[in-house]
Amino acid sequence: MEDETLKELWKAQNDKLDISVKLNQLLLESLQKQKAEIKLSHLARYKNRVAIFGIIWILFLGLLVYGNQFKNPFFSTSVLLIALFNVIAVYVYFKHAVLIKKIDYSDSIIKTQQKLIRLQTSTFTIGRILWLQLPFYTTFFWSWEMIGRMDIRFYLIALPITVVFSWVAIWLFKNLVPKNIDKKVVKWMVKDSIEYKSISKAMDFLNEIETFKKTG
Is residue 181 very low, low, confident or very high in pLDDT (cuts 50, 70, 90)? confident
**pLDDT at position 7:** 52
Question: Quick one: average pLDDT of 2-22?
Answer: 53
Cα–Cα distance, 128 to 49 (Å, whole number): 20
Question: Quick one: average pLDDT of 142-169?
Answer: 93
The separation between CA 182 and the C-alpha centre of its own chain, rounded to angstroms, equals 16
The separation between CA 101 and the C-alpha centre of its own chain, rounded to angstroms, equals 15
Cα–Cα distance, 200 to 215 (Å, whole number): 22
Cα–Cα distance, 37 to 32 (Å, whole number): 9
- Secondary structure letter of residue 183 according to DSSP: S
Residue 157 predicted with pLDDT over 90? yes
**pLDDT at position 43:** 95
Q: Is the dihedral of CA 122, 46, 203, 175 positive or negative?
A: positive
**pLDDT at position 16:** 52
Residue 191 predicted with pLDDT over 90? no
The model's pLDDT over 89-136, given as tens digits with 9 standing for 90+, comes to 999 999 999 999 999 988 888 888 899 999 999 999 999 999 999 999
* Torsions phi, psi for 154 (to 5 deg): -70, -50
Is residue 148 very low, low, confident or very high in pLDDT (cuts 50, 70, 90)? confident
Domain ranges of the chain: 12-215
The model's pLDDT over 60-99, given as tens digits with 9 standing for 90+, comes to 999 999 999 999 999 999 999 999 999 999 999 999 999 9
**pLDDT at position 30:** 76
Q: Do residues 62 and 83 make contact, with C-beta atoms less than 8 angstroms apart?
A: yes
Mean pLDDT taken over the chain: 86
What are the counts of helices (DSSP H) followed by strands (DSSP E) for the chain? 8, 0
190 or 15, greater pLDDT: 190
Q: Tell me the whole-structure pTM to 2 decimals.
A: 0.84
Q: Mark 165-201 as b/e (b = at least 16 C-beta within 10 Å).
A: bbeebeebbeebeeeeeeeeebeebbeeeebbebbbe
**pLDDT at position 26:** 60
Which H/E stretch holds residue 112? helix 109-131
* Torsions phi, psi for 177 (to 5 deg): -130, 150
Largest pairwise CA distance in the chain: 110
